[in-house]
Every structure is written in C-alpha cells, then in structure tokens.
Amino acid sequence: MEKTIGMLVGPLFEDLEFWSVAMRLREEGYRTLVIGGKAGETYTAKSGGLKATAEIDAGDVTAKSLHGLAVPGGFAPDTMRRNSEMIRLIREMDEQKKIVGFICHAGWMAASAKILTGRRCTGSLGIKDDLENAGGLWVDLPAFQEGNLVWGRVVADIPAYQKVLISALGAQ
C-alpha cells in the first residue's frame, strides 16, 4: 500500500520548499496529500508564480492516516499557525513519534505546537529568537534529524533537507 505524506500549505508558501520536496517525495514512491485550511482552495507561492491547491482540510486529517508530514516555509506558517487543526495535527504527529519536516519559517508551526522544549532546531535567521523563546536549541546547520523531527535551514539547504527527510521517512 502506498504511504501518504501530508504537506501543509497556505498563502505565500515558499515555492521550492513545497514543490521540490513534493516532487522528491513522489519520486520516492510516496503519495503526497496537500493539506490546507480549506479543501479546494488554491494558494499562491511567495514568488507570486507557482500555486498549490489543498486536497483536504486539516480538520479532516488524523496523524494515524499519515506516514509523515512536511511543512514548508515562506510566509505560509504565519497564516497556518492560526489554524488550530493544523497545530493539532502537528502535535498528534509528534505524540505518535511520526516524522515531521520543518524548513525555513516552518519552525513557527513547531513553536505554536509547543513541541520545541529542549530539542535542537533550525530555520530562517528571522525566526531564531522565536524558536529559542519557545524552548528550542538553535543550531546553525543546513539540515539534520532530531528524534522524529527533521529540520532544514533555508531554500539553499533544500538538497540537504530532502536527503535527511527521505532517509528519516524510509527508516520509519
């Protein structure tokens, strides 16, 4: 049976942190499930060019149905963190020790899910203070795995992030 990886999406998602990762997951044989605030809603990427359409509401997704979850950066997390069902899904994934990937500004979602205490994390320098204030231990590395969480720093680190994410998902 095909394993499903959820991909959160919202307005101003970072183009490649969403789409390059989606293509990579599909290459690996995973089904991607695009999870938004509202099924059928289409969001425009930060560049203003690419788009992505939600296949399902976050409220209709359980951690049990997913093998993993990938959260893109850009400014989408600023909107997505206000969605209590998205935050609930991240907490549920974490409680079940399932792989969740965060890159760039995606760490804001981990801060709002209150899962950072004492754990290593990274992302865009713009959110370093927020992750540390949420109890995270900031490290300046392109990408790494910390327990069931996978971290990527910025767009240029997508290659390293994809490598760690694919490896973590494969090992689970």
The contact set with a copy of itself (CB under 8 A) reads 15-16, 19-20, 23-24, 26-27, 45-50, 158-160, 162-163
Dihedral in degrees, nearest 10, Cα atoms 84, 15, 144, 113? -10
* Minimal distance, residue 158 CB to a copy of itself, in Å: 5
The residue among 21 and 110 lying less far from a copy of itself, judged by its C-beta, is 21
* Minimal distance, residue 163 CB to a copy of itself, in Å: 5
**Which spans in 74-123 are helix H?**
76-80, 84-95, 107-112
* Minimal distance, residue 116 CB to a copy of itself, in Å: 26
The residue among 24 and 153 lying less far from a copy of itself, judged by its C-beta, is 24
Compute the chain's Rg from CA coordinates: 14
The residue among 13 and 87 lying less far from a copy of itself, judged by its C-beta, is 13
Q: Do residues 143 and 152 touch, judged by C-beta distance below 8 A?
A: yes
The residue among 20 and 59 lying less far from a copy of itself, judged by its C-beta, is 20
* Minimal distance, residue 103 CB to a copy of itself, in Å: 12
Pairing of strands 99-103, 120-121: unpaired
Query: CA 113, CA 1: separation in Å to the nearest integer?
Result: 30
